[in-house]
A and B are shown apart, each in its own frame.
Chain A
Amino acid sequence: MKLFGKTKTEDSKHQRVLRELIKAVGREKVLSAIEDRICYSYDGTKQKALPDIVVRPGGTSDVSNTLKIANKYEIPIYARGAGTGLTGGAVPLMGGIVFDLKSMNRIIEICPEDFVATVEPGVVTKDLQDEIAKFDLFYPPDPSSAAFSTIGGNVAECAGGITGLKYGVTRDYILALEIVLPDGSVINTGRKTLRSVTGYDLTRLFIGSEGTLGVFTKITVKLIPKPKKIETLAAYFSDRDDAIDAADLIIDNNILPRTLEFMDKMTINAVRSYTGTDIGEDVKALLLIDIDGTEESISHEMPVVENACKENKAFSTKVAETAKEREAIWAARRSISPALYNIAPHKINEDICVPRSKIKEILQKVDQINEHQTIYIANFGHIGDGNIHVNIMYNDDPGQAELAESIVNKVMREVVAVEGTISGEHGIGNKKSQFMELEISPKELAIMKRFKSFFDPKGIMNPGKMFLS
């Protein structure tokens, strides 16, 4: 499939495609120098594969014209937002054309009276959040990459984030999409209304489709009123199970925190030695809880939350009311990523999700799997959703990478056994396609593949992702 082949015919095919693309979208939007191709060869997984051409479309018609050419010559094509994905979604595994959709980054309209906004896919999620905040509105999905990932990428992977328990994930806020199909035709799914049940829900089929079905060119999102106030509580435990019980009790009290984050002992140790924070040596688990709402609702809910922690043997709790205090507490959570690299230079960051009642069980299983191993596993994440980031840290010693992979394999099996899912928010990409069959039965897999071949009969859209074959 590689375009840069040795044979003469392939070479001239490459030249023809390049000529046609330049004619269709303009010379300045088509990059083919090796320096540019290198810069679009990777994503957040550190995998690399060189594309042959990078197209920076200026609008829907550029995307459509490019897809027509790609379809005609059967050239693989990959939609790329900011290239921050964690499962390889934007990596051009089979060469071909990468769309750099960062070039389509206009906020087309914000309709405060309708609670909707329509944007191009290259808008950075936080830029959208900041813009709508001016109208006192709120777009909740908040993946930790929100400040640099794009809304298009978020929709393609159905990104989650720390506000999922109370507010849901990306899928819950997408009302309508403009999509260019592989043959270059443009479809519109959904309506700009807060509800619509006309026909099949094609919008949801495309959310989380990881660029394997079509390319989004316009995205209409739902907005909600912005909570007036946020207060943060940190609770410290000497036992992991106590923290999990406390999280359960908070929710049992009919309180849905804006965020309910958990960190285990290994994570805390890493953060402590990295940042030198004053988290005591005896802290073996911690919960980080944001409550949002009005002054009144928070003053009612925060004591309940604090009590739930104390009832479950939290030996210390800390409430932050000012932005500065909140920032200090959250700094620990934010430093996890760099801190973990102090344990070992390589990381496999899994994003398993299990029913909340199975969290204790799955963490015990993870402990057992790693019992006699030389590999460190740090667990943290969105405990309210049951979405735990299992981080398998390994070094360069021979056999370590294989060992890490085998641990991932075992963890995935246990997750599926407790009716969990292998990916809560990162997507499948090529990194997890080998585990698809664990969770999805052959029959459902066959249905998915029929959808795929219906929309993309020539298989040019993001080949090598989602499915093994």
Chain B
Amino acid sequence: MSALWSLLRRDLLLALRRPSEVLTVVFFFVVVAALFPLAVGPERATLRMLAPGVLWVGALLASLLALNRLFEADHHDGTLEQMLLSGTPLTLLVVAKIAAHWVLCGLPLVLLAPLLGVLFDLSGDALGVLALSLLIGTPVLSCIGAIGAALTLGLRGGGVLLALLVLPLFVPVLVFGAGAVEALAAGLGSGAHLSILMALLLLSGLFSPWACAQALRIALE
């Protein structure tokens, strides 16, 4: 367990000393969200209707950007090999990597989304549900994306390949995440959507670290 905490602390410390990576992800999210009103016009009713989908897709793409580099630096400088050879179960170490990735790249999106939702004229309730759906959904994106990041480790064209592999698997999260906010707007209540998101989180939290560890072993063989 202490290896897990040590790895998590190490990644957070490294990101703190070199914050450019995290900041680029955050700014990407803002830029994407700002592009849509420019594309569809400033009419408030339209923006309110589009907001959940736009913000969710923006968060999804921003997460994808950061996923590429999840294992890349460690692979490049040899620390990933040491993790495989350390005697600590690789699944635990992967949990630490995914957790660090979410804290650095997922959590800022969760905190920023309500602010961007205001730009789209979402109501207070909707902003709350949006933040909650992202809070539950972004860890799922990190978990699923980690498998793709491990499989495409070291490959040329890795970023696009990662997106191709992982975006179809993101569809359920997107459907239920954006759907939660839309259901609220339609007066149906977001409870069902959020419960299903929780279920997806539990499933991916249990299955992904193991699958990701296998993918890392395959990539390093």
**Are the chains A and B members of one assembly?**
no
Instruction: List residues of A whose CB falls within 8 A of some B CB.
Output: none
Instruction: List residues of B whose CB falls within 8 A of some A CB.
Output: none
